[in-house]
Structure 1
Amino acid sequence: MTHLSDTNIILDTDSYKASHFLQYPPKTTRLFSYLESRGGKYPATRFFGLQYILKRYLSTVVTAADVEEARSLIEAHGEPFPYDGWMRVVTEHGGKLPLEVRAVPEGTLVPTHNVLMSVTNTDPELPWLVGWFETMLMRVWYPTTVATQSYSLKQIIREALERTSDHAEAELPFKLHDFGSRGVSSRESAGLGGLAHLTNFMGSDTLEALRTGRNYYGTDVAAYSIPAAEHSTITSWGKAHEVEAYRNMVNTFARPGATFAVVSDSYDLKYAINVHWGETLRKQVEESGATLVVRPDSGEPAAMVRLAVRALDAKFGSDLNSKGYKVLRHVRVMQGDGIDENSIREILQTVTGDGFSAENIAFGMGGALLQQVNRDTQRFAYKASAGLIDGHFQPIYKDPVTDPGKRSKDGVLDLVMENGRYVTKQYQTFDTEFPGSVLRVVFRNGELLVDDTLDEVRGRV
């Protein structure tokens, strides 16, 4: 038994795809497929992550050894294998995939039910390649869905800040921090999902997202973090010396202009704020010129944040901003336990309802940010919609009577802007110049044609 290559992209498909070259009508020379969100939780999607897939995988050069390996495995697996076709990729195309991919610019917010990406073949002998890579290309659903959810949460926080803060635009990029790396299924998910979040925010503890940002989206440092305690670093001092653990944090990290976070509910949050922070260490915190972020990590989120904000106000005081909301002096609160869309809304309503600015609060989000999504969150689909068969154009679509919502589009699809709205055009021919298209050719014949930076992606909403 030989080891299988980790870089053989021929194997990155569904097993049954290997038999499809025998299933299309005779003399099929062209196929066209598209990706769309058929609806879901959010009314629009923020497209992101295709560039990573194209760079990391689809740009790989296929070798004769890859073809032989794939044939050996797939035939033993019980499927036929298009050996001659794959060897044509190697011999006629130098191992580069004869495909063309068009897509909306990454970071664009597109209403659901519109084409986001299209794929067609450039070699008339190899139309089945369009379907072969559905599995790989479909995975763009994941970073797109994370970016979409993160964007939606940003709008909730934005509204609260604009209503209650004098510094909404400066505060907003750091109000939702990613703690999701340990909660995802793989290092790749952490990197790609974490970077998807960073299309909207600039705070993260997912280092893998920084690696992905630098290697695939041309950004030196995609996000920022601050020194922060966890329960082990506090409780290792023992309950009797809890205040010394806090004092060590102040002595080590409190400098003018610095920010540091300390989880403070290892034993008793209220006592920690009222006595340790509010009396014993208050003067040292105030004189340090730093900002202390107190972090509750248990209990009902909105109630714990309310307790913390009120107690810190009683000890450190606050100032009224121009909008009539209180801003804590020297301290802030971060809630990182039980955070999702509902708890964010509840916390913001509770805090601002008590007369405090939303700038007093930041959120940390883990598994709910990067893992609690799936392909059906936005109902993603990759479908064939047109073919060229014996020289004749053939619309391709499905229309199941049992589920009209799964009716797929037909034709050669394009996305345009009309009267300020995105509209999907359906052409019944491959001979079109796509006038006014929003889609860009991002990949053709094994070459990446568009290489966006993260800053460009961030600027597109």
Structure 2
Amino acid sequence: MRHLQNLILNTDSYKASHWLQYPPGTDATYFYVESRGGLYERTVFFGLQAILKEYLATPITHAMVDEARDFYAAHGEPFNESGWRHIVDRFNGRLPLRIRAVPEGTVVPTHHALVTIESTDAQCCWLPSYLETLLLRLWYPVTVATQSWHLKQLIRQYLDLSSDDPAGQIAFKLHDFGARGVSSAESAGLGGAAHLVNFMGTDTVSGVLTARAYYGEAMAGYSIPAAEHSTITSWGREREVDAYRNMLRQFAKPGGLVAVVSDSYDIFKAIREHWGTTLREEVIRSGATVVVRPDSGEPVDVVHQCLGLLDEAFGHTVNAKGYRVLQHVRLIQGDGINPNSIRAILERITKAGYSAENVAFGMGGALLQGINRDTQKFALKCSAARIDGAWLDVFKAPVTDPGKLSKRGRLVLLHHREFGSYRTVAVPDALARVEDYLPEPGWEHAMVTVWEDGALVQDWTFAQVRERSNA
């Protein structure tokens, strides 16, 4: 949306008045981002680089300041026109900020600082807070990547139990169907790319393009030819088998995959009579793997019943771990999929003797939209301010909610090289550079400077992000 491209207006209304609210003598502030707990105990950090490149890389201009001045005059808020003019004139519109963050893809326990933001110009101490609205939106790609990562660990458990090749199977076991279920194209892009940190199957084109545009990955995800209900039901109920036959003739090639939704009328009849009888030999001769997709009913029961029917029709082999692996066919369940149903389905089918490699999952709204900022309790808070030349700890400690106690001081995140543990600590006030602080041997800084005074300092590739998330 072109009318939203002015960075000065990419904030909450009340931020416009905050430059007048700091104590006299304030010339620097220090903020941090953390997950204060939530559904998962660890987060996968991802998405800040895309936000920085998209929004902070564009210099502020006097025309932007003019637009913001006129908007706030009509909107009822004071506006720091001189402060923004100073940024344009002194820094050519580049924001005087220093942002440090954990490298993208890093898995970090909750309750630790993941990002710090500090002002670097005495006249712009108000700037880190002004950007809270924009920068805290990184909760979204982090939370999608986090949920996707935990689902990967869940699916991997069942593959380790029941598959001879868990490492070769995992990448395509959770397919992103979420593009139509999100609130915007930007959400589809950021969320879709966040999922691709962990998996390689997607129908969310925006996610692939986001990984390309901001992380240099030429092709981060893959899809296969697949039917939807309209392309099957347009043949009519009486010609349902012809719709399936057309899918085979168009797309079933040796070694290939084709997915066919088969519950338009009666999924059990479709497997027994159409796939398992009329088209059985054609499926086998094609050399392809046909992926049957149920799309209605109670997922755990339907998946189990469909596996049994496909087994009756096409048979199975028994792998080295004693689990059945279907021949010529697989199944993908995309309806009603969430973390609980994935676990329930995998538990049911493995207890019934079927390998988890027989099933893949498609996840839509629950993957990209069924989360919010409170899923991982994300917050961006001020932890220090320099007033009259001395650093002061800044924090909140509401008596009504101890869970909202915020951290204090200029913070760094430390990682122990041997034990892998993390510590968020405040550095002594006398130190000018926070990265010079290491309290004792064995510890290293887990954050690096990623952005300084308008320039991207680190440019992570998608391959690097994936490598860290898999570590």
Q: Would you call these one fold, judging by a TM-score over 0.5?
A: yes
Instruction: State whether residues 176 and 201 of structure 2, in contact with CA within 8 Å, keep that contact through their aligned partners in structure 1.
Output: yes
Tell me by how many angstroms 1:428 deviates: 3.9
Correspondences of 1:226-237 after superposition (within 5 Å): 226-237=224-235
In structure 2, which of residues 411, 431, 437 is the aligned counterpart of residue 413 of structure 1? Answer: 411
Residues 88-139 of structure 1: CA distance to partner in whole angstroms, max 9, x if unpaired? 0000000000000000001101000000000001111110001000110000
CA distance in 1, matches of 2:451, 2:420: 27
Aligned position for 1:189: 187
CA distance in 2, matches of 1:56, 1:407: 32
Aligned position for 2:293: 295
Which residues of structure 1 form unaligned runs of 5+? none
Secondary structure in 2 matching 1:459:
helix
Instruction: State whether residues 205 and 225 of structure 1, in contact with CA within 8 Å, keep that contact through their aligned partners in structure 2.
Output: yes
Which amino acid in structure 2 is aligned with residue 114 of structure 1? H
Instruction: State whether residues 4 and 10 of structure 2, in contact with CA within 8 Å, keep that contact through their aligned partners in structure 1.
Output: no
Aligned position for 1:149: 147
Aligned position for 2:369: 371
Aligned position for 1:455: 463
CA distance in 2, matches of 1:339, 1:347: 10
Correspondences of 1:43-122 after superposition (within 5 Å): 43-122=41-120
Secondary structure in 1 matching 2:445:
coil
* Segment of structure 1 superposing worse, 422-431 or 403-412: 422-431
Which amino acid in structure 1 is aligned with residue 150 of structure 2? S
1:445 aligns with 2:445: no
Give 4+ residue runs of structure 1 displaced > 6 Å after superposition: none
Share of identical aligned residues, percent?
Answer: 57
Aligned position for 1:222: 220
Aligned position for 1:343: 341
Residues 148-168 of structure 1: CA distance to partner in whole angstroms, max 9, x if unpaired? 000111111000001000111
Secondary structure in 1 matching 2:255:
coil
Instruction: State whether residues 395 and 428 of structure 1, in contact with CA within 8 Å, keep that contact through their aligned partners in structure 2.
Output: no
Which residues of structure 2 form unaligned runs of 5+? 439-443
Tell me by how many angstroms 1:4 deviates: 7.9
Aligned position for 1:200: 198
CA distance in 1, matches of 2:36, 2:73: 35
Tell me by how many angstroms 1:312 deviates: 0.5
TM-score (norm 2): 0.96
Which amino acid in structure 2 is aligned with residue 313 of structure 1? D
Tell me by how many angstroms 1:6 deviates: 3.1
TM-score (norm 1): 0.98
CA distance in 2, matches of 1:42, 1:112: 8
Secondary structure in 1 matching 2:72:
helix
CA distance in 2, matches of 1:130, 1:83: 17
Aligned position for 1:242: 240
Aligned position for 1:35: 33
Which amino acid in structure 1 is aligned with residue 451 of structure 2? F
CA distance in 1, matches of 2:113, 2:428: 16
CA distance in 2, matches of 1:185, 1:427: 41
Tell me by how many angstroms 1:195 deviates: 0.5
Which amino acid in structure 1 is aligned with residue 368 of structure 2? L
* Segment of structure 1 superposing worse, 282-291 or 428-437: 428-437
Instruction: State whether residues 47 and 106 of structure 1, in contact with CA within 8 Å, keep that contact through their aligned partners in structure 2.
Output: yes
In structure 2, which of residues 307, 311, 314 is the aligned counterpart of residue 313 of structure 1? Answer: 311
Secondary structure in 2 matching 1:275:
helix
Instruction: State whether residues 38 and 113 of structure 1, in contact with CA within 8 Å, keep that contact through their aligned partners in structure 2.
Output: yes
Instruction: State whether residues 278 and 316 of structure 1, in contact with CA within 8 Å, keep that contact through their aligned partners in structure 2.
Output: yes
Aligned position for 1:270: 268
Residues 60-83 of structure 1: CA distance to partner in whole angstroms, max 9, x if unpaired? 100001011101101221111111
Tell me by how many angstroms 1:434 deviates: 3.6
CA distance in 2, matches of 1:408, 1:265: 51
Aligned position for 2:167: 169
1:426 aligns with 2:426: yes
Which amino acid in structure 2 is aligned with residue 373 of structure 1? I
CA distance in 1, matches of 2:420, 2:361: 34
Instruction: State whether residues 28 and 390 of structure 1, in contact with CA within 8 Å, keep that contact through their aligned partners in structure 2.
Output: yes
In structure 2, which of residues 10, 13, 28 is the aligned counterpart of residue 12 of structure 1? Answer: 10
Secondary structure in 2 matching 1:139:
helix
